A and B are shown apart, each in its own frame.
Chain A
Amino acid sequence: MSAHDIVLAVSGLKAHLDTPRGEVRAVDGVAIELRKGECFALVGESGSGKSMTALSLMRLLPETGRIADGRVMLGDQDLLALPEAAMRAVRGRRVAMIFQEPSTALNPVLSVGRQIMEVVERHSRLRLSGEAVRRRALELLEAVGIPDAGRRCEEYPFQLSGGLKQRVMIACALAAEPEILIADEPTTALDVTIQAQILDLLAKLQAERQMAILLITHDLGIVARMAQRVAVMYAGEIVEVADRDVFFAGPQHPYAQKLFEALPSPEKRGSELSVIAGQVPALTGTFSGCRFVARCELAYRRCHHEMPQLITIPEDHAVRRLVRCHLREEGLAPPPLVNASEVQTGTPVVAASPSVIVAVENLKVHFPIRKGLFKRVVGQVRAVDGVSLAIHSGRTLALVGESGCGKTTAGKALLRLITPTHGRVVFAGKDLSSLSREALRASRGAMQIIFQDPYASLNPRMRTADILGEGMRSLGVGRDKKDREDRMAELLAQVGLPLEVLSRYPHEFSGGQRQRIAIARALAVEPKLIVCDEPTSALDVSVQAQILNLLKSLQERLGIAYLFITHNISIVEYLAHEVAVMYLGRIVEHGTAQEVLGNPKHPYTEALLSAVPAVPVPAAPGADGKRGIIRLTGELPSPAQPPTGCHFHPRCPKAMPECRETYPQAVQLERGRTVNCLLYRASNAASSN
């Protein structure tokens, strides 16, 4: 690796942010080298400083931030020493950047073409004519795989889907053919099938143009799929740098190891996920020892008093790898990762004969579309269009699908938080969907919900005691105040929170703690079923593991059923007993978790599973890639105008002519396994429903 291959060399980078709590050292001495044509991944949890690092390189920190120290050498130019005008010539021209949220990163009132053309105009060395600039914009749109570029060029961002918007962002970034592309969580806001498309596109462009990519992400799966080299950030520092294969073969830093162990996966079914205790330390103060020391199980005296340096491991000559850990410095081998195979396969989770507690029959939720002079109803958004489910006590049914498929609406309609248009929700012999509000209240306690956003799910103006007590008071749980207080203490013990949280307000808690309070609130009324609406998607991996462990142990102890709504397949693999896959308001495949995930039948399920970037299991390198790769083209159609016939046929790689004609009926393959696909029509299984 010769020196001139290095296109960007960052050393000693420090970026500070002014916050009400004081100066936060968000980036504290980061050093990375980016080589020509490689994809370098900077991975870390929220608050680790990875995005701030990226923004510092571009000198685009928010106004409260400043770069305190360091050098960013682009070739032989120090970017941090350039005057602002010269820096502007670098931005977009030599280093381009794309952001996480394509829907806000594009200017809403300028046409897509205009936004690409302005980069071409700004940075082209020749003075291009208006027509040439436009041609170039069209070229770029085609290069990023936008069909019908001529028309799209005139459109505005709001007319494009999220995936197309991110493609436009990439086109903007490519316009001046930069040497380096910084991609800050480029697919976090997108669905997995779209994410797969965008990642493919980035990989293709990188290979074609010999462009270096600095990929900022929190997802180890994306790292495994995209990167040649990996750096792990923790609390403003890089704690480990290694080549991809070396890293995934065996991470060395205790934090990196913990990240792997906290990931849910099918191998860990039945066992508890490993968690990282505590929280990321506040970056307002100075450190005298290792930043991870408070959460590290292997910490010893030296870790408290001496800051570890990022060094190569003495006996590690063969591979290039840098680690910031005293243990490795002293040549101590990492303890073996907690491997799935070494853990007992868990308690048998299937109850003798689980009884159905809630049965959903042909549930539909349609929202009218009003148009024209008198706001006549001209159509229906079929958010949920005939969903039937049976939820068994003590079991977890995962409802899986991409955003917009109607899974959350179905969950809320089941609880009557949204009034269903049609269908029955049968609980204890009563149809809840036809009860009056008053009559419904008696059944409210049996079914509860946990939400996605822990920051929006607790009223900031109420103390924990009031939050927990609200449901009990409303539903008459507990005889008196004393009784309810005892119950609250019991609940807090169940979710692992100390008693003193009762008198505190939500803003004093972290995301994970809030989610625990939300779980306690749901438990307070002794529900039989909890609808979990993406309860961990807003949380970091290490916190997610805590919540999943908690949900799992509650189920085992209390026999609660979960309807687990998620788009995260690895959680399903880890937690669910049964899986129902939704596409455009309908369930397309339903069966036990092992069957559906291990042997998907519906082409959509197959594609969905193959789109998830898999994290290779460190103990068994090369274990990834067992799934055939199916890439879906296009995006989820609008539920207002679903395609004729099978909803999936326009995107289906196995579509047949008759798929256009009729919507496939559910075909029962095995006991409890159904799939709605014409491919299986020929099977001898009797059609149900």
Chain B
Amino acid sequence: MLAYIIRRVLYAMPILIGINLLTFALFFVVNTPDDMARMQLGQKRVTPEAIQKWKAERGYDKPLLWNEQAAGADKITRTIFFEKSIKLFVFDFGRAEDNRDIANEIRVRMWPSLALAIPAFLVGLAVNITFALGMAFFRASYLDLWGVVLCVAMMSVSALFYIIGGQYLVAKLWHLVPISGYQSGLEAAKFVVLPVLIGVISGLGSGSRWYRTLFLEEMGKDYVRTARAKGLAESVVLFRHVLQNAMIPILTGVVAVIPLLFMGSLISESFFGIPGLGSYTIDAIQAQDFAVVRAMVYMGSVLYIVGLLLTDISYTLVDPRVRFA
């Protein structure tokens, strides 16, 4: 068990290195720092000096991989690769365009993100499973049929519509909650309730349909017939037998995204003015702040890998076949 986890952690290492190389290539090799500088500064007033200054301010004026001018170990360390990419491993993200420390910013902004993402995630999961169980219980009836039709229709609506429509209806027309903004502490609740609601609704269609498929797949299995042959009630069959088995794919799928909750929701946060990591990322993308985007790419990947690890571990917890194997 422990060996298993250690092996998964070791397996994650090369992936982390791969991500690091990939982001390095994407940000510094595909386009040179000169290109970035020119774009940041605007095409018109670009002088070589301005570019040089821009690069020097951000530490992009060094060679990519190998510094000929430096001496000793500096040949490696005084390069863009070392300073920008290797340092990612120790979560040193450097500074953003506004000269703030990115790591610090992440620490501050992750709380609003979590305040929005965790409730949305938990409520969404509960609602999806409830809906799916309902459809599975009444399978092959009109209730199920219309449930599926509703799911497909809801899946076909753009997430932007839920956000814009919800904000208009609940906040603007009915004045039930503030349109946007955020306060920390308990006050946060009134700002998050609408985005949470919208998050749940926009995920309902695809989520509950997917879970319904999982439930129905389990219900076709032989052990369900055995359970019925024992004279168990349909609800017992559904909750004790089917749900437990279907929870294996559901839980492991769910566990994988838990770490990514830190990253927040890009669109929701920016729409509702919640100062989380999602809106931070969007602002950085729109302002073309490469340092922040690179930091977030790396953060997201690390969290994804943590998610993979948690998935592996959660398998051992929910599935006796893995636990005792």
Which residues of A come within 8 Å of B, CB atoms?
A: 58, 60, 63, 85, 88-93, 96-97, 99, 101, 104-111, 118-119, 122-123, 156, 158-159, 169, 172, 176, 372-375
Q: Which of B33-41, B98-106, B225-233, B285-293 contacts A (4 or more CB under 8 A)?
A: B225-233
B233 close to A88 (CB less than 8 A): yes
Q: In whole angstroms, how far apart are the Cα atoms of A122 and B229 in the complex?
A: 12
Q: Which B190-204 residues have a C-beta within 8 angstroms of A?
A: none
Contact of A105 among B226, B231, B320, B325 (CB under 8 A): B226
- Taking a contact as CB atoms closer than 8 A, the residue among A99, A119, A374 that contacts B222 in the complex is A99
Contact with A along B204-247 (1 / 0, CB 8 A): 00000000000000000111011111111100100011001100
User: A58 — which chain B residues lie within 8 A by C-beta?
Assistant: 229
Asked if A109 and B320 make an inter-chain contact with CB atoms under 8 angstroms apart, the answer reads yes
| Chain A residues within 8 Å of B319, by CB | 109
Contact A156 B244 (CB under 8 A): no
**Separation of A109 and B246 alpha carbons in the complex (Å):** 10
A-B contacts, 19 listed (Cβ < 8 Å): A60-B228, A60-B229, A63-B140, A85-B233, A88-B232, A91-B230, A91-B231, A92-B229, A93-B231, A104-B222, A106-B223, A107-B226, A107-B227, A108-B245, A109-B318, A110-B244, A118-B230, A122-B230, A158-B321
Contact B245 A107 (CB under 8 A): yes
Could you list 7 further interchain pairs (A-B, Cβ under 8 angstroms) beyond the known A105-B222, A107-B241, A176-B231? A88-B231, A91-B231, A105-B226, A109-B245, A110-B244, A118-B236, A123-B231
* Interface pair B231/A122, CB less than 8 Å apart: yes
Q: Is B3 a contact partner of A96 (Cβ separation < 8 A)?
A: no
Query: In the complex, A372→B2 CA distance in Å?
Result: 9
A108 and B321 contacting across the interface, CB-CB below 8 Å: yes
B320 and chain A: residue at smallest CB distance:
A156
**Whole-angstrom distance from the CB of B142 to the nearest CB of chain A?**
16
- Residue contact B226 to A169, C-beta cutoff 8 Å: yes
The verdict on B188 contacting chain A, using a C-beta distance below 8 Å, is no
Q: Which residues of B contact A90 (CB under 8 A)?
A: 231
| A-side contacts of B318, CB under 8 Å | 109
Say whether B44 faces chain A, with CB atoms less than 8 Å apart: no
Partner of A99, one of B226, B245, B248, B324: B226
Nearest Cβ on chain A to B67's Cβ, whole angstroms: 37
Contact A122 B232 (CB under 8 A): yes
The interface bits of chain B over 1-22 (1 if a CB of A lies within 8 angstroms of the residue's CB, else 0) are 0010011001000000000000
Compute how far the CA of A156 lies from the CA of B227 in the bound complex, rounded to whole angstroms.
16
Residues A105 and B223 in contact, CB atoms below 8 Å apart: yes
Contacts of B7 in A (CB 8 A): 373-375
Chain B residues in 8 Å Cβ range of A111: 320
- Contacting residue for B248 out of A93, A101, A109, A159, CB 8 A: A109
Query: Is the pair B245, A156 in contact by a Cβ cutoff of 8 Å?
Result: no
Nearest first, the 8 A-B pairs at minimum CB distance are: A92-B231, A91-B231, A104-B222, A92-B230, A156-B320, A107-B223, A97-B229, A105-B222
Contact of A118 among B3, B232, B245 (CB under 8 A): B232
Partner of A108, one of B139, B236, B240, B320: B320
Closest residue on chain B to residue A85 by CB atoms: B233
Instruction: Give chain B residues whose Cβ lies under 8 Å from the Cβ of A97.
Output: 229
List the A side residues contacting B232 at CB < 8 Å: 88, 92, 118, 122
Q: Which residue of A lies closest to B325 (CB)?
A: A158
Q: Which residue of B lies closest to A374 (CB)?
A: B7
- Taking CB atoms, residues of chain B closer than 8 Å to A105 are 222-223, 225-226
**Chain A contacts of B321 at CB under 8 A?**
108, 156, 158
A95 to chain B, nearest CB (A): 9
CB contacts (< 8 Å) of A85 on chain B: these are: 233
The distance from the CB of B86 to the nearest CB of chain A, in whole angstroms, is: 26
Chain A's nearest CB lies how many Å from the CB of B50? 54
Task: Please measure, in the bound complex, the distance between the C-alpha atom of A110 and the C-alpha atom of B236, giving whole angstroms.
Answer: 13
Tell me how far the C-beta of A686 lies from the nearest C-beta in chain B, rounded to whole angstroms. Answer: 47
Nearest A residue (CB) for B322: A158
Q: How far is the CA of A90 from the CA of B228 in the complex (A)?
A: 11
User: Closest A-chain residue to B218, C-beta based?
Assistant: A107
- Indicate if the CB atoms of B223 and A372 lie closer than 8 Å: no
A256 and B193 CA atoms in complex are apart in Å by 73
Complex Cα–Cα for A123 and B232 (A): 9
Given the known interface contacts A107-B245, A372-B3, A373-B6, the answer about A99 and B230 at a Cβ–Cβ threshold of 8 Å is no
CB of B228 within 8 A of CB of A104, answer no
Q: Which residues does chain A contribute within 8 Å of B139, judged by CB atoms?
A: 63
In the complex the two chains form, what is the Cα distance from A119 to B241 in whole Å? 13
Known contacts A104-B221, A156-B320, A373-B6; is A110 also within 8 Å of B241 by CB?
yes
Q: In the complex, what's the smallest C-beta–C-beta distance from B130 to chain A, in angstroms?
A: 21
The CA-CA distance from A97 to B7 in the complex, in Å, is: 45
Q: How far is the CA of A118 from the CA of B233 in the complex (A)?
A: 11
* B-side contacts of A375, CB under 8 Å: 7
Question: Measured between C-beta atoms, what is the minimum distance from B103 to chain A in Å?
Answer: 32
Report A-chain residues with C-beta under 8 Å of the C-beta of B6: 373
Residue in chain B with minimal CB distance to A372 = B3
Chain A residues with Cβ under 8 A from B227's Cβ? 107
Instruction: Give Cα distance in the complex from A110 to B7, angstroms.
Output: 28
A91 contact from B222, B228, B236, B325, Cβ within 8 A: B228
Residue of chain B at shortest CB distance from A63: B140
Residue of B3, B231, B240, B320 near A89 (CB, 8 A) is B231
A99-B225 Cα distance, complex, nearest whole Å: 9
A90 to B222, CA, bound (A): 20
Which residues, 268 to 325 on B, are CB-close (under 8 Å) to A? 318-321, 324-325
**Residue among A85, A90, A109 with max Cβ neighbours from chain B (10 Å):** A109
In the complex, what residues of A have CB within 8 A of residue B223's CB? Answer: 104-108
A108 to B318, CA, bound (A): 11
Out of A104, A118, A158, which one reaches B240, CB within 8 Å?
A118
Whether B324 lies near A91 (C-beta < 8 A) is no
Provide the bound-state CA to CA distance between A172 and B229, in Å: 10
| Closest-CB distance, B43 to chain A (whole angstroms) | 55
Q: Mark interface residues in B65-95 (1 if CB within 8 Å of A CB, else 0).
A: 0000000000000000000000000000000
Q: B320: which of A88, A91, A158, A169 is its contact (CB, 8 Å)?
A: A158
A179 to B225, CA, bound (A): 20
A-chain residues with CB within 8 Å of residue B241 when the two chains form the complex: 107, 110
A156 to B225, CA, bound (A): 18
Residues of B within 8 A of A63 (CB): 139-140
From B224, which residue of chain A is reached at the shortest CB distance? Answer: A107
A96 — which chain B residues lie within 8 A by C-beta? 229-230
Q: How far is the CB of A172 from chain B (nearest CB, A)?
A: 6
**Residue in chain A with minimal CB distance to B222:** A104
CA distance A473 to B244 in the complex (A): 52
Residues of A within 8 A of B320 (CB): 108-109, 111, 156, 158
From residue A133, how far is it (CB to closest CB) to chain B in Å? Answer: 14
**Which residues of the partner chain B approach A91 to less than 8 Å between Cβ atoms?**
228-231
Shortest Cβ gap from A357 to chain B (Å): 43
| Distance in Å: Cβ of B217 to nearest Cβ of chain A | 13
Residues of A within 8 Å of B221, CB to CB, are 104
Whether A119 pairs with B230 at a CB distance below 8 angstroms is: yes
Q: Are B225 and A109 in contact (CB under 8 A)?
A: no
Q: Which residue of A lies closest to B248 (CB)?
A: A109
B230 adjacent to A172 (CB under 8 Å): yes
Residue picked from A92, A96, A107, A158, most chain B C-beta under 10 Å: A107
Nearest B residue to A158, CB-CB? B321
Q: How far is the CA of A576 from the CA of B6 in the complex (A)?
A: 54
- A373→B241 CA distance, assembly (Å): 34
List chain B residues, Cβ under 8 A from A119. 230-231
CA distance A60 to B234 in the complex (A): 12
Name the distance in Å between B94's Cβ and chain A's nearest Cβ: 35
* Set of chain A residues within 8 Å of B10, measured between Cβ atoms: 373
Residues on B with C-beta less than 8 A from A107 are 223, 226-227, 241, 244-245
CA–CA, A600 to B10, complex, Å?
55
Report B126-160 residues with CB < 8 Å from chain A CB.
139-140
A214 shortest CB reach to chain B, Å: 13
Residue of B140, B222, B324 with most chain A CB atoms under a 10 A cut-off: B222
Contacts of A123 in B (CB 8 A): 231
With contact pairs A63-B140, A107-B241, A109-B248 given, residues A101 and B222 touching in the complex (Cβ less than 8 Å): yes
CA distance A374 to B3 in the complex (A): 9
